[in-house]
């Protein structure tokens, strides 16, 4: 989205804010974008995922509230509507540009239980909704709209900063990013408060339920049992994470946090970590508040002279482009600039701009075999290729 949709600026990298340096860029190739499904066009595509049932089908989420399904083939001519909940979704056309159907995750056991999860904006009052749906048993290209089970609702004071990435981790718990509630500067101080779910990454168990909840809180979560703290919290001090991903080789959780007025950042998320918002933006002081404990520095940051709204990507673990292996790719929604960085042994070992192009990059996607794609607001999906 646009600064629009949920983020702010992005950065360069680790301990350095330059866009590129010759030694640092060594071993990271430039990339190009190639149309993956030339005959298909979507309306504001914000997420893409492969059905985890071996069928070779892909789903694309449109911000207005539709999920579309089609075969993973460059020759695909049409899509079917897998789920349409536009009547439930608070529309970006009528309210805030950052609202809508924003996230999707299939249950790890989807092939047997047909369950998947979505996060969307809703009205009356304005809130974020995490729900479970089920695919239809007799119609593989359709989900059942009547199967909705609301798992969690989080009221929001403003329409922007919704965050919202859903991921199942190797531990089979569901991780959810939630923005700080909106407006400018986090006026309610949600970033540094453990009593609210806003400005956080949450970790919940969707296979069980605790008393009074439609899910369970894993006992290994860092703030379980702390007076005044929400047990769902995994990490905090995050302004508006727009896209996070697990490295399928190391298990590291990468997150792109959209900045306020000057800095965009890339973070590695750790259990119980405090990433500083709203006492700082990137590595830089913000406002007059002071954190209550140590802060975790971003892996990378870039200033608004380079971009205005970061879109997080993935560490490439595919096999088609050996020179890209181990490179984390991310982009700026506004400028369309792409960066690549290598992070090894606790430090950035290389980083560079790998592509400049004009499209608004809304999201990345990772195929079952580790190849990477991007979703642009020209309505197209592109495959990432290395220029070797």
- Do the Cβ atoms of 140 and 148 come closer than 8 Å? no
Residue 126 maps to a domain: yes
Residue 161 maps to a domain: yes
* 37-75 per-position pLDDT tens digit: 999 999 999 999 999 999 999 999 999 999 999 999 999
User: Domain with 168 in it: what CATH number?
Assistant: 2.120.10.30
Residue 275 maps to a domain: yes
Angle, CA of 231, 234 and 237, to the nearest 5°: 110
Q: What is the mean pLDDT of residues 18-37?
A: 76
Please give the DSSP secondary-structure letter assigned to residue 324. G
For residue 349, give the 3-state DSSP assignment. strand
- For the chain, the domain total comes to 1
Residue 133 maps to a domain: yes
Residue 145 maps to a domain: yes
Q: Which of 200, 237, 204 lies closest to 218, judged by CA?
A: 204
* 75-118 per-position pLDDT tens digit: 999 999 999 999 999 988 888 889 999 999 999 999 999 999 99
Q: pLDDT-based confidence at 10, cuts 50/70/90?
A: very low
* 208-249 per-position pLDDT tens digit: 999 999 999 999 999 999 999 999 999 999 999 999 999 999
Residue 339 maps to a domain: no
> Is pLDDT of 166 > 60?
yes
Note the pTM of the prediction, 2 decimals.
0.93
């Amino acid at each position: 989205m646009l600064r629009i949709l949920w983020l702010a600026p992005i950065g360069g990298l680790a301990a350095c804010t330059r866009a590129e340096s010759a030694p640092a860029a060594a071993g990271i190739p430039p990339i190009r974008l190639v149309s993956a499904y030339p005959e298909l066009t979507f309306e504001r595509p914000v997420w893409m995922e492969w059905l985890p049932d071996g069928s070779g089908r892909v789903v694309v989420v449109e911000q207005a509230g539709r999920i579309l399904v089609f075969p993973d083939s460059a020759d695909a001519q049409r899509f079917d509507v897998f789920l349409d909940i536009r009547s439930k979704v608070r529309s970006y056309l009528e309210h805030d540009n950052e609202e809508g159907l924003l996230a999707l995750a299939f249950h790890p056991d989807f092939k047997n239980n047909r369950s998947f999860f979505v996060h969307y904006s809703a009205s009356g009052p304005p809130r974020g909704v995490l729900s479970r749906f089920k695919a239809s048993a007799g119609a593989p290209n359709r989900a059942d709209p009547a199967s909705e089970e609301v798992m969690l609702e989080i009221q929001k004071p403003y329409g922007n900063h919704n965050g919202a990435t859903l991921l199942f981790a190797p531990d089979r718990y569901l991780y959810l990013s939630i923005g700080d509630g909106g407006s400018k500067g986090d006026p309610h101080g949600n970033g540094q408060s453990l009593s609210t779910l806003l400005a956080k990454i949450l970790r919940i168990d969707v296979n069980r339920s605790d008393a009074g909840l439609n899910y369970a809180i894993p006992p290994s979560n860092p703030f379980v049992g702390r007076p005044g703290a929400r047990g769902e919290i995994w990490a905090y001090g995050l302004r508006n994470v727009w896209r996070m991903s697990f490295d399928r080789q190391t298990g590291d959780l990468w997150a792109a946090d959209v900045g306020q007025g000057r800095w965009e950042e890339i973070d590695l998320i750790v259990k119980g970590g405090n990433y500083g918002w709203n006492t700082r933006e990137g590595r830089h002081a913000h406002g007059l508040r002071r954190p209550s404990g140590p802060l975790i520095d971003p892996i990378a940051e870039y200033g608004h002279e380079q971009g205005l709204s970061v879109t997080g990507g993935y560490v490439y673990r595919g096999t088609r482009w050996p020179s890209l292996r181990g490179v984390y790719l991310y982009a700026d929604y506004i400028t369309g600039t792409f960066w690549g960085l290598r992070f090894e042994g606790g430090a950035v070992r290389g980083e560079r701009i790998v592509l400049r192009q004009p499209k608004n990059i809304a999201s990345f996607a990772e195929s079952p075999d580790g190849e990477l794609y991007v979703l642009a607001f020209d309505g197209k999906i592109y495959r990432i290729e290395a220029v070797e």
